[in-house]
Amino acid sequence: MTAAKLTVTAGVLFILTGSLHAIGLPWVTGLAASAPHDLMVVIPTLWLAITAAMVVLGLMVVLIGLKPAPYGRALVALTGLFPLANAILLIVGAGNSPPVYIFSAVALATFAAAWRHPAA
């Protein structure tokens, strides 16, 4: 697979993961209903913030894959830190679960894309 295709694929994985994350909003909102009022408002907002970050970072990676940019390799690698951090935080906070594998796969694909991306 060429570097551009790998980079675009990593970006699409970001976008799909963000979309999948958004699907969980009703579940999180239901859980937040039993939390104190201050948290009840903040938890769904934070959930959507992670969703938005995944989609925006995915679009950035797709654009770098379609039109290589100066420091594209570094930008793609830095972008991979976001799902990696999510996976680590999930393991520490909630234990091993399917989202850990999803975030880990996105991080791995992104780091592979950065590795194959042409240097600036």
In the chain, % of residues over pLDDT 70: 98
- More confident call, 1 vs 63: 63
**pTM of the full structure:** 0.89
Place of tokens 């830190």: 81
Q: How many CA atoms lie within 13 A of 98 on its CB side?
A: 3
Residue 120 pLDDT level (bands cut at 50, 70, 90): low
Q: What is the CATH number of domain 3-116?
A: 1.20.1270
Q: pLDDT for 77-94, tens place per residue? A: 999 999 999 999 999 998
Q: What is the mean pLDDT of residues 54-64?
A: 96
Report the C-alpha gap between 33 and 49 in whole angstroms: 19
pLDDT at site 117: 85
C-beta of residue 33 within 8 angstroms of C-beta of residue 40 = yes
pLDDT of residue 118: 83
Domain boundaries, the chain: 3-116
Q: Residue 119: pLDDT above 80?
A: no
